[in-house]
Structure 1
Amino acid sequence: MAVTVRAWFHHPLTRNSAFMHLWAGQTAAQVGFQVGTLATSAIAISVLRASETQIGVLSALQTLAFLIVGLPAGAWVDGWRKRRVMIIAGLARIGALVSIPLAYVFATLTLTHLMIVAALLGLCTVFFDVAYQSYVPIIASRRYIGAANGRLEASYQVGHAGGPGLGGWLLGLLAPPLVYLLTALTYAFSTWAIWRIATPEPAPTRTEATLVAQIREGLAFVRGQRLLFPLFSCIAAAAFAAAGIQVLLPILVLRTLDMSATQLGLLLSVGAIGGILGALTRSAWMKHLGIGRTIVVTSIIGVAVLAAQPAAVHAPAAAAAIIAVSGIVSSYFLTIYNVTQMSLRQEICPPHMLGRMNAIFRFAVWGVMPLGSLASGAAASWMGVEAATYVFIALAVGASIAMGLTPAARIRGTSAINTVP
C-alpha cells in the first residue's frame, strides 16, 4: 500500500499545472456539493416538512435537466470551448445557491423556490459535467486518462468523506438554508481555479450539420460500438436503481431510525473512506482482473453489500455501525467500478465525439435518475422505506450482473486503446 500511495502522488500528472488546477477546484467543489446535498435534505425534511413524495420530486428535479437537454448539450459542448462552459456554469450555480439563504433571511423561502433552485443547479451541472469529462482527455492526454480519473474520483470521495461531516456539523450550528453559503464559496473557488488554467485548448471542431444531425451522429456512434452500447444499457438501469437508493437512505436514517442530520452526515462521511482506498488501489485490481472483470466484480459487490443498511432497522443499537461499515465497503468497490468504466469510454472515443458520447452516457445515467427518484418515493409511500430499499438494491444488483454478459466484460488487459470497438 505504501508503494502504491507514493507512486500515486509522484505521478507525472502532479507536474501538469492545468490538471492540478482542475483537480484542486474539483476537490473543493465536491466538498461543497456534499454539504449542499445534505443541506437540501435537511431543508426539505426539517424546515419545509416535505412528504416522501415531495422529497422524491425534489430529488428528481435535480437531475431532470439531463433528461431534457442532456443530448443537445453534448452537441453544443463539442462546438464550444470546454473551459469557458465550466466557468459560466460555475457562476450560474453560485447565483442560484445564494438565493436560498437570502430567501430564508427574509422569511420568503418555500418548497417551490427550493425546487426551482434544484432544477437550475441541475441544468448548470449538465453543461459543466459534459464539458468537464471532455476536458480531462485534453489536458491529461489519453495515456493518463485512467490516472486522471482516479485522482478526480478521489476528490469526489474526499468531498464525500469531509462534506457530509462538515455539513452535519454546520447543520448543528446554523439553520439549514444558511449552509448553502459554504457550497457557494467552494464553487467560487472551483470557478477561479478553472479560470486560472493557462493551457491552450484546441479550437472546437466546427460543423455545418444541424443540431439534430449532430445528436443523431452521437447516438449512432454509441449504438454502433459493440463495447459501448451494451454497457450503456446496463449503466442506465443501474442509475435508475441508484437514484432510488440515494433518496431512501436519508429517510431511513432520519425518520425510520430517528437519527439526527449530524449523524447522517457522519455516516456518509465514514463511507467515503472506502472510496479513497478504492481510488488508490484500483490499478492493482486492473492488473489482476483486467478491465472487463474489474467492472463486473466491483459493481456487483459494491451494490450487494448495501442490503445491510435496511436490515439495520432490526438492530437499532448497532444500526450506525452496520450502515457505516457497509458504506465503506460499497464505496470502495463502486469507486473502482466508476473510474474503470469511465476511463474505458474515454479511451475508445475519438476526440471530436467526446462531448456527445459523454452527454449520451450522462443522459442515460442522470436522465433516468428522476424516474428512479420518483419511483422510490412512491414505493416508500406504498410499501414502506425498508421494503422499497430492498427492491431498489435488487434492481441494482440485477443491472450489475447483466454487465457480465456484455462484450466489455471480456476485455482482459489494463487498457482498451488497442481494442477494436
Structure 2
Amino acid sequence: MPTAPTPPAPSRIGLLRDPDFRRLFAATALGQLGDRIVFLALPLVAIVALHADEFQVGLLTAMTSAGSLLVGLPAGAWVDRMRKRSVMIGADFMRACVLMTIPAAWWADLLTVGWLYVVALAHGTLTVFFDVAHVSYLPHLVGRDHLLEGNSKLSAVRSVTSISGPAMAGPLVGWVGAPVTLLVSSAGMALSGLLAGGIRKREPKPESSARPRLVRDIEEGLKFVLTHPALRAIMLGDAIFNLFLVLYQTMLLVFLEREMGLESFGIGLVLSGMGCGALLGALLATRISKTVGQGPTVWLASLVTCPLTVLMPMAHPGWSVYVAAIGLAALSLGGVVRFVAQASFQQALTPDRLLGRMSATARFVSWGGIPLGGLLGGVSGSVFGAAATLWIGAAGMTLSVLPVLLSPLRTVRELPDGPDRKAPESAR
C-alpha cells in the first residue's frame, strides 16, 4: 500500500513570500532606521551642538514622548475610523518634513533648545498615529493565524536597524554633525511612506455610525482594555517598565559622553550592541514563546535580563564600558522577546473594530509615564548624578514584572482561539 507523500517542511521565508508583506517589511526597516538615528542624533544635538545641561536633556526626552499623553486616546478612535495604511503613509511624510527643519535651522544659525522641544513634540505626536495604525494594520494584512510570525519578522528588522542605526549615526555625527545627520532620518521616513503606498491589498473602509462620538469611542476602548485581566496586566507592567527605561536612557548618553569619555563613534558602538541583543531576541522570540508559553515569556524575559543593566553604572572609563554594554544587549533581547509575545496576545484578543483603540489605550497608559520618566531622569541626574540614576532605572525595570507575575496570565501557554474570547480559562 503506497504511503502518503511527506508534506514539505514550512519555509523559513514564510510571510516574506507575500509581496505586500515584503513592502511593509521594507517600509518598517527604513522607517525604523530613521527613528533609531533620531534616538541618538536628537539628544546629541542638544548635548554637543547646543551644550544643554542634564535637566534640558531630560525635558527633551519628555517632549519626545509627550504626544502619547496629548493624543494617545483620541488617536485610537480616529485611526479606527480610517484606513490604517493611509494613516501610516501620511504620518511618515509629515515626520520627514518635521525633522528636516532641524538642519535647516542649524544652517541658518537659528537652532535653539526650544526648537528641539517643538520638533520632538511634533515628531512624537505623529509617531503615536503611525504606531497605532501599524499595530492595527498587521492583523488585516497577514491574518490572525500568522500574527506571531508577522510580529517576529517585523521585530527582527527593527532589531537590525537598532544595530545599523546607531552604527551609522555615530560616524555621521562625527563627520557632518548631529543636526545634519537628521537628514538621513528624514529620508528614511519618506522612503518608508513611499513603500507603504505600494501595498496593493486594500482594507475595507471602516464602518462608522451616522453620528460618531469621540468620547463614546474612547470609553469603549478604555473599558475593553481596563476590564480585561490579561490586557490590564500587560499594560501596567509596560507602564512601570517604560517609566524606568526612559529614566535610565535619559542619563545613559550623558553618562557615556561625560563620565565615560566616549565620543559619538563609541556611543554608537555601545548602542549597536543593544541592537545585536534585539536581533537575537527577534530570532529566538517565537521559539521561546512556544517552549516556555506566551504568558510566562512576558514576565520571564524581563526578570532575567533587566538586572544586567546595573553593569553600566558599575563601569569605569576604558574597556569595562564595552563589557557593561552586554547588559544593555541583554535588556534589548528580553524586551523584544517580551514584545513579540505580548503584542501577539493583545492582537489575538481584540476584535478588528477595536484594534486601533486597544493599541492607543495600551500605549496611552503604558507610555503615559514616559514624559515623567524623562523629567525624573533629568532631575535625578542633576541631583544624584548620571550613574546613580542608572541604578534607579535598573531596579525599576526589574520590578516591572510584578503586574504580570501576580496575574493569572503568568501561566497561560497559548494564544486564545479568537478575539471574541475574554481570555483562556487559566487567565481568568
Runs of 4+ aligned structure 1 residues displaced above 4 Å come to none
Tell me if 1:284 matches 2:287: yes
**Which AA in structure 1 matches 2:101?**
S
Please state whether the residue corresponding to 1:203 is helix, strand or coil.
coil
2:84 to 79, 82, 85: 82
TM-superposed CA distance for 1:203, in Å, is 1.4
Determine the C-alpha separation between the residues in 2 that align with 1:151 and 1:283. Answer: 10
Please state whether the residue corresponding to 1:316 is helix, strand or coil.
coil
Determine the C-alpha separation between the residues in 2 that align with 1:8 and 1:121. Answer: 38
TM-score by length of 2: 0.93
Determine the C-alpha separation between the residues in 2 that align with 1:20 and 1:256. Answer: 43
Determine the C-alpha separation between the residues in 2 that align with 1:294 and 1:8. Answer: 25
Tell me if 1:161 matches 2:201: no
Determine the C-alpha separation between the residues in 2 that align with 1:319 and 1:41. Answer: 24
TM-superposed CA distance for 1:41, in Å, is 1.5
Alignment coverage as a number of residue pairs: 412
Name the counterpart of 1:332. 333
**Which AA in structure 1 matches 2:306?**
V
TM-superposed CA distance for 1:8, in Å, is 7.0
Name the counterpart of 2:369. 368
**Contact 2:84/2:133 (8 A) holds in 1:** yes
**Which AA in structure 2 matches 1:49?**
H
Determine the C-alpha separation between the residues in 2 that align with 1:29 and 1:111. Answer: 25
Identity %: 32
Name the counterpart of 2:266. 263
**Contact 2:228/2:422 (8 A) holds in 1:** no
Determine the C-alpha separation between the residues in 1 that align with 2:105 and 2:145. Answer: 48
Name the counterpart of 1:3. none
Name the counterpart of 1:177. 179
**Larger mean Cα displacement after TM superposition, 214-223 or 404-413:** 404-413
**Larger mean Cα displacement after TM superposition, 269-278 or 356-365:** 269-278
**Which AA in structure 2 matches 1:417?**
D
1:311 to 311, 314, 328: 314
Name the counterpart of 1:111. 113
TM-score by length of 1: 0.95
TM-superposed CA distance for 1:75, in Å, is 0.4
Name the counterpart of 1:351. 352
**After superposition, where does 1:19-418 map in structure 2 within 5 Å?**
19-207=21-209, 208-312=211-315, 315-413=316-414, 415-417=415-417
Higher share of residues assigned helix = 1
Name the counterpart of 2:4. none
Determine the C-alpha separation between the residues in 2 that align with 1:397 and 1:256. Answer: 24
Determine the C-alpha separation between the residues in 2 that align with 1:323 and 1:97. Answer: 32
Determine the C-alpha separation between the residues in 1 that align with 2:48 and 2:77. Answer: 40
Determine the C-alpha separation between the residues in 1 that align with 2:108 and 2:221. Answer: 47
Determine the C-alpha separation between the residues in 2 that align with 1:367 and 1:8. Answer: 40
Please state whether the residue corresponding to 1:259 is helix, strand or coil.
coil
TM-superposed CA distance for 1:366, in Å, is 2.4
Determine the C-alpha separation between the residues in 1 that align with 2:89 and 2:387. Answer: 41
**Contact 2:260/2:318 (8 A) holds in 1:** no
Determine the C-alpha separation between the residues in 2 that align with 1:179 and 1:104. Answer: 11
Determine the C-alpha separation between the residues in 2 that align with 1:8 and 1:15. Answer: 9
Determine the C-alpha separation between the residues in 2 that align with 1:9 and 1:106. Answer: 50
TM-superposed CA distance for 1:69, in Å, is 0.8
**Which AA in structure 2 matches 1:408?**
L
Measured against aligned partners, the alpha-carbon deviations of 1:63-99 in whole angstroms (never above 9, x if no partner) come to 1011011000000100011111111111111111111
TM-superposed CA distance for 1:330, in Å, is 2.1
TM-superposed CA distance for 1:420, in Å, is 4.2
**Which AA in structure 2 matches 1:329?**
A
**Contact 1:18/1:197 (8 A) holds in 2:** yes
Task: Identify unmatched segments of 5+ residues in structure 2.
Answer: 1-8, 424-428
Please state whether the residue corresponding to 2:110 is helix, strand or coil.
coil
**Which AA in structure 2 matches 1:346?**
Q
Determine the C-alpha separation between the residues in 2 that align with 1:296 and 1:28. Answer: 30
TM-superposed CA distance for 1:7, in Å, is 6.2
Task: Identify unmatched segments of 5+ residues in structure 1.
Answer: 1-5
Determine the C-alpha separation between the residues in 1 that align with 2:327 and 2:397. Answer: 16
**Contact 1:83/1:131 (8 A) holds in 2:** yes
**Contact 1:31/1:186 (8 A) holds in 2:** yes
TM-superposed CA distance for 1:386, in Å, is 1.1
TM-superposed CA distance for 1:50, in Å, is 0.7
Please state whether the residue corresponding to 1:240 is helix, strand or coil.
helix
